[in-house]
Structure 1
Amino acid sequence: MNATVHQEAGNRPIDHWFAHYSSDHVNLMNQRIHVFAVPLILWSVIGLLWCIPVPGTLFNAGLWAALAMFGGWMFYYRASRAIGFGMLAVFVAMAWMTRWLHDTLGTPGLFKLALGVFVVAWIAQFIGHSKLYEGKKPSFFTDLKYLLIGPAWVLSKLYRKLGIQW
């Protein structure tokens, strides 16, 4: 197989990103906080994007969230097919849930819920990184790309528990 298409595990960019991300998340309590807070932040961003009005009548609510999820999915798929497929499942589940919430609560209700979840989950993240637990700044302070790595890192922890190669 062509070396530019297939890279050995450990030499892929995602392996380096995970190694760096893991080095900033060694405290067990901080890891546990991240396992809950990172998916909540991901969902809240999707929910907030869902609330942005769509111009015209050709597209439905959720267009901006769908475009962002597609862009995120392309990033994950290029980094690792297994992570890409897993994140696709996560995005589909979150999109279904967000559509249901939007239909149930309306745009203002979804916006308030997503904003509240966003704020609370970020507070939890910063508590996890405080001197109380990790004592290190979040990875995204060194590179904004780590905002995308967090959800994949959490998924990779699930994959390891299930014995899935990524």
Structure 2
Amino acid sequence: MKNLTEHLSQYALYHRDQRNIKTHFIGIPLIVVAIFSLLSLPLMSVAGIMLTPALLLFIATAIFYFRLDLRFGLVMLLFSGSCFALATWLASQPFIIWLSSSLALFVVGWVLQFIGHYYEGKKPAFVDDIIGLFVGPLFVVAEMGFMLGLRKQLQQDIEKIAGKMH
């Protein structure tokens, strides 16, 4: 399994234009909420907990992030948990509101992604590595951390591989 630096560096190779990253700051959370919402239909109840594909995805991604890095795992738990909570609320709305809102968030999120990649002049990272779909939210959180002056060594390690942002 790749480590944190390897995952973020590979993703960063497709994301060096600041305009692209800015579109990802909005597009990726919209997509995450939409996916959690669209996957919120119950499978079964176990010990009073409603199991949904969204909950299983939330747990699987939390494990993925924690295996990469404890600090990012905690931040991703907050990010993903917030998206999951919003998606759960959305899923509790009447069917037409749930479905239309979830689909709208999904479409708008992807439109923003593709606008960003137009500026970048490169295809999205997941085209070459499907794991990029899971690394994208982590990348956005990492970039926000870098903007706040956190994890400078990690940022430098990524820039050695992917180059500086422009």
Scaled by the length of structure 1, the TM-score of the pair is 0.80
Matched residue, 1:81: 70
2:94 to 106, 109, 117: 106
Percent of residue pairs bearing the same amino acid type: 29
Residue in 1 that maps onto 2:122: 136
Give the AA of the match of 1:109. I
1:130-161 deviation per Cα after TM superposition (whole angstroms, max 9, x unaligned): 2xx11111111111001111000000112223
**1:20-50 deviation line (CA, Å, top 9, x unaligned):** 2112111121111111111111111111111
Q: Which runs of 5+ in 1 are unaligned?
A: 1-11
Distance apart, 1:59 and its partner CA? 4.5
Q: Which has the higher contact order (CA 8 A, sep 6+)?
A: 2
2:23/2:116 contact within 8 Å kept = yes
Could you tell me which runs of 5 or more consecutive residues in structure 2 were left unpaired when the two chains were aligned: 155-166
Q: One-letter code of the match for 2:78?
A: A
What amino acid is the match of 1:47? S
State the alpha-carbon separation in 2 of the partners of residues 53 and 94 from structure 1: 18
- Aligned letter for 1:143? D
| 3-state DSSP of counterpart to 1:137 | coil
- How many aligned positions are there? 150
Equivalent position to 1:41, from 31, 34, 41: 31
RMSD, matched Cα = 2.0
Q: 1:94 aligns with which of 60, 83, 91?
A: 83
